[in-house]
Amino acid sequence: MSLLGFTHDLRAAIVDLDGTMVDTLGDFDVALNRTLQGLALAEVSRAFIERTVGKGGEHLVRQTLAHVGADAALFDAAWTAYQQHYAEVNGQHSQVFEGVVEGLESWRARGWRLACLTNKPQAPALALLQAKGLAGFFEQCFGGDSFERKKPDPLPLLRTCEALGVAPAQALMVGDSRNDAEAARAAGCPVVLVSYGYNHGEPIQSVGADAVIERLDAL
């Protein structure tokens, strides 16, 4: 497909991770519910997790504690346990979405510079990319703890563009949620969203991206 006629001006793609390249709900499910079990709290459903992920692990844990009616003062203990459990299962219950490898290969063949930008902390993001054989596609990988603010703030995209040596208008943001679209719009990047990701329970077509695609290799 032609992305509104401006793909010829692009020099880079900045790609989200969870829900865009890798289906990580299984990892979140296991790590989060092990955390709740350890605190003698009720478990949460995968549907709740799918609606809640995308704004960083701290947000997920805080929202989960509120959802199960736990005292907010438990956050520090829950966050510590969650990080440990997530590190133990990272990549074990997740799968790369169809079309991702083919899409990345085609973009690299075009000469685009590639970066991964996620709200997941950088260390587990890098570990997941390595585990799924995707790390070699990216010259940069930034996480939710790489900068002072996370998406949907535009700062992470602007800093990633700087690291890639491209102007925001030359860098395509590829994501799965309103977070990605709002960050891209504020940064001045064009944005494409996938139809299959985690968008906080909202239909992705309502977000207003430049295009919605079924697979990364459809671009």
- 27 among known catalytic residues: no
Among 16, 18, 29, 180, the active-site one is: 16
DSSP string, the chain: --STT-GGG--EEEE--BTTTEE-HHHHHHHHHHHHHHTT-----HHHHHHHTTS-HHHHHHHHHHHTT--GGGHHHHHHHHHHHHHHHTTTT-EEPTTHHHHHHHHHHTT-EEEEE-SS-HHHHHHHHHHTT-GGG-SEEE-TTSSSS-TTSSHHHHHHHHHHT--GGGEEEEESSHHHHHHHHHHT--EEEESSS--TTS-GGGS--SEEESSGGG-
The residues assigned a catalytic role are 16
